[in-house]
Structure 1
């Protein structure tokens, strides 16, 4: 009897090749697509992860491979568990990473739930990450194509989820994935890569889009530089630590956001980039992928945003579910709300949410 597997089909090339590889391996493949589309056209037209083109690509792939397919309607849960908390974080002057929460609370959680109800053994996705098992513990590692590695976004996945998932393209580079898609005549073979943000309204920040979507009030305030008022702004939700563009403040030299006070609405500016450096920062709600805290001695690295490089660090747990992190090299624009993810070499240990930086 063929092993039954679920393949999460997004309409992109990576997930479609995951389906091809599963079929090549002799599996019975069932495609599943999550529908996260906002019911209001004003917002749905700006969604990057739920377009009609994506669904057309999914249906083309399923027809080409001759596989069963299901849509899961999940926007209400997506809004409740991902969009609303993200909007509230922006209102607090923080910059959240909704993808990390969405992967854990919506995408993988619901896919595993569906797989179990369908009697499927595994869930396959097109993520660039690798998974192995040692002594009953599942370990997540960076994908071989480091330019596409997505392990950073998967730090929240726990052992229950990891035991059910596989990443067929994790040991490939993007070029090989596209060649396989082309060999099979898939419509996704030359489709552009998806964007990181789930909404993109031209001329509008992601924080403002979420504020409007969730009907939250603005929190306007003042720009301050060296204690002086140098301008006004329409809301702390539109700014992030290290931001330079869009401030509309004339100081004669480039200015950067160095601090955000959500209570007063004040945004502190600095003109010297070195004042954005932090030699220590805190991390909240730390989760360890093995299910328990690892040995934190020896070589560790921390990555504080998806596009940044991991740097050596020291981690000191605070005994209350958080930790203090001491990077070997001071880090620029450490941003509250972003994910800090810990690695030992290419092995992902866990991560949490950045609290504050010193």
Structure 2
């Protein structure tokens, strides 16, 4: 009897190859595509994730591989659990990472529920990450291609989701994934990788897209440099710590955002890059992969998807948070972003940056 598996098909090359490898392994494959597009054409027609080619690509992959497939409408859940909380974070002067929340609260939650409903043994996706199943539970690891590793975005997943997951391309290089897709005649073989937040509208920052979606009022204010007003802006939600481009402030030298006051709307600037360095920061809402904090306080921390993990230690912080002390000061530690902890290639857990000390 064939093993029944669910494969999340996004219309990209990675999920396409994940499905193809499952077919080659003799599995009964059910392709599933989550529809997260806004029902209003004013948003969906401009949404970067709403490419007209995505569903056409899914249909071609399904036909070529000869698998069954279904769509699941997920926008209501996506809006309630991810977009609206993210909008509130931007309005509070923070910069959220909605992908981490979406993976737990929308995508993998829906897929795990469907797997139980259909009696599927596993859920497969095209993420560049790896899993090992050990006595203590499922252990998430970095993907082998360091340029594509996506484990950072998966830190919130619990043992319920991890116990059913499989990442068929996690041990592969991207070039090998594209070669397999081309050999099978899949239209996704040369499809470019997505580069932006999935709900982002072209031509505007993600914070502005979410503000419009949720009907929230912008908080205009001043650009402040060393105590004096050097310009004005239309909304503090449009900026993030460390931002340099798009400020339209002429100081003669590059200026960076170092703080955002959501009450007054003031965005404070600095020209000294040293002003962006933090020697410690606080993390809240910690989630550990095995359900409990790891033994020992020394590990590495990664504060952005594209940043390098650096050695750090963690200490108990105030009000149940964690104080993270990196071995060297970190640049532009941003409230709202994910701080993810590793030991080598093993993902230990993570949390949300509350403030830099």
The residue that corresponds to 1:96 in the other structure is 96
TM-score normalised per structure 2: 0.98
Q: CA deviation at 1:336?
A: 0.5
What are the equivalent positions in structure 2 for 1:153-172 lying under 5 Å apart?
153-172=153-172
| Equivalent in the alignment of 1:332 | 331
SS of structure 1 residue aligned to 2:229: strand
Give the equivalent residue in structure 1 for 2:76: 76
Aligned to 2:266: 266
* 2:345 match: 346
Question: Superposition RMSD on alpha carbons, in Å?
Answer: 1.1
Name the structure 1 match of 2:233: 233
Q: Give the SS at the match of 2:258.
A: strand
Task: Tell me the equivalent position of 2:311.
Answer: 312
Could you tell me whether the CA contact under 8 Å between 1:48 and 1:195 is conserved in 2? no
**Aligned mates of 1:319, 1:135 — CA distance in 2:** 33
The whole-number CA distance in structure 1 between the counterparts of 2:46 and 2:159 is: 34
C-alpha deviation, 1:319, in angstroms: 7.2
CA distance in 2, matches of 1:305, 1:135: 30
Cα distance in 2 between the residues matched to 1:109 and 1:50: 21
TM-score normalised according to structure 1 size = 0.98
CA distance in 2, matches of 1:317, 1:135: 28
- The residue that corresponds to 1:173 in the other structure is 173
Structure 2 unmatched runs, 5+: none
Q: Secondary structure at the match of 2:187?
A: coil
Alpha-carbon offset, residue 248 of structure 1: 1.6
TM-superposed CA distance for 1:195, in Å, is 2.2
User: Is the Cα–Cα contact under 8 Å of residues 46 and 199 in structure 1 kept in the other structure?
Assistant: no
Deviation at 1:70, TM superposition (A): 0.6
Contact 1:286–1:321 (8 Å) recurs in 2: no
State which drifts further: 288-297 or 97-106: 288-297
| 1:21 matched to 2:46 | no
Cα distance in 1 for residues equivalent to 2:320 and 2:69: 40
Number of matched residues?
357
Counterpart CA distance in 2 for 1:255 and 1:356 is 21
Which residue is equivalent to 1:248? 248
1:45-93 alpha-carbon deviations (Å, 9 max, x no partner)? 2223332211011111111111110100010110111111111100001
Aligned-residue offset at 1:244: 0.9
> 1:320 Cα shift?
4.6
Alpha-carbon distance between aligned partners in 2 of 1:199 and 1:48, rounded to the nearest angstrom: 6
- Report the counterpart of residue 38 of structure 1 in structure 2: 38
SS in structure 1 of the partner of residue 46 of structure 2: coil
Say if 2:49 and 2:200, in contact at 8 Å, map to a contact too: no
C-alpha offsets along residues 296-353 of structure 1, whole Å, 9 cap, x if unaligned?
A: 334x100000011000001113375420101111111111100000000000000011
Per the TM alignment, residue 233 of structure 1 is displaced from its structure 2 partner at its CA by 1.1
Q: Residues of 2 paired with 1:202 and 1:109: CA distance?
A: 28
How far apart are 1:200 and its partner, in Å?
A: 3.5
For residues 43 and 22 of structure 1, do their structure 2 counterparts lie closer, same or farther at Cα, with a shift above 3 Å needed? Answer: same
Structure 1 unpaired stretches of 5+: none
CA distance in 2, matches of 1:210, 1:297: 37
Give distance in 2, aligned partners of 1:225 and 1:315. Answer: 33
Are 2:283 and 1:283 aligned? yes
- Aligned position for 1:56: 56
Could you tell me whether the CA contact under 8 Å between 2:34 and 2:74 is conserved in 1? Answer: yes
User: Alignment partner of 2:85: what SS?
Assistant: helix
